[in-house]
Amino acid sequence: MVGSPHHILSSFRPVKSATVGCASPLDDLPALITRTNIHFQALVERMLRELRLDGLLQPGMAPVLFALYEQDGCIIKELAARTQRSASALNSLLGRLKKSGLVTMSPCPQDGRAVRVRLTALGLEIEPRVRELHHRVLAAVEHGLAPDEAVQVSGILLRIITALQQDDALQHSFLTGHPNHRRTHS
């Protein structure tokens, strides 16, 4: 039946992987992404300790703070769009930022259903250290890469993220029975 979850999933064709010929699944693209993430998390955690931010921040929180440094007082929906995070992931991060005393959340006076997020005095006070964290992490990640290579890696990672988001949307439509997101290959 066209439009059914089964039809949507059956429209996928296996894609040849560039890493299929790898000697081991320990060296293929998912394994490399996993190892990169593990090392990246360790790097950020070490730098958080060095900058004495480890009691306040965890990996993944800085982009939310940067969005608020650029435009404080966003509603959660705007913040989710600006940081490109799902509402559930953002709500989890905001809960931890609030617990750390870095943000407050209050109902939006213009729209009682929306919640505004504002930086606290402490959130504003740590901005120079958060910017230093970003500078150090960026330098470490780009170390050994030529500028054009850093741009290429960024572009490839954005394509991978987009593909994974499309897969998430497809899985959501399959699980809910709403085939709003269809993906076909020619």
pLDDT of residue 88: 85
pLDDT, one tens digit per residue, over 105-160 is 999 888 878 899 999 999 999 999 999 999 999 999 999 999 999 999 999 999 99
66 alpha carbon, distance to own chain's centre: 13
Which pair of tokens denotes residue 113? 């259903």
| Domain boundaries along the sequence of the chain | 1-50+144-186, 55-120
55-120 has CATH 1.10.10.10 classification: yes
Which pair of tokens denotes residue 18? 């560039």
pLDDT, one tens digit per residue, over 90-99 is 999 999 999 9
Q: Measured between alpha carbons, how far apart are the two ends of the chain, in Å?
A: 19
Judge whether residue 2 has pLDDT over 50. no
16-36 in b/e form (b: 16+ CB < 10 A) is: eeeeeeeeeeeebeeeeeeee
Pairing of strands 103-107, 74-75: unpaired
Residue in the block written with tokens 């399959």: 174
Give the pTM.
0.74
Q: Is 162 exposed, middle or buried (0-12, 13-18, 19+ CB in 10 A)?
A: exposed
Closest CA to 168 of 87, 106, 111, 102: 87
Strand, coil or helix: what is 75? strand
Instruction: Name the phi and psi angles at 14, rounded to 5.
Output: -55, 140
Average pLDDT over residues 28-55: 94
pLDDT, one tens digit per residue, over 49-79 is 999 999 999 999 999 999 999 999 999 999 9
Name the more confident of 15 and 124.
Answer: 124
Rounded to whole angstroms, the Cα distance separating 6 from 2 reads 9
Rounded to whole angstroms, the Cα distance separating 127 from 129 reads 5
Strand (E) or helix (H) holding 149: helix 147-176
Judge whether residue 184 has pLDDT over 70. no
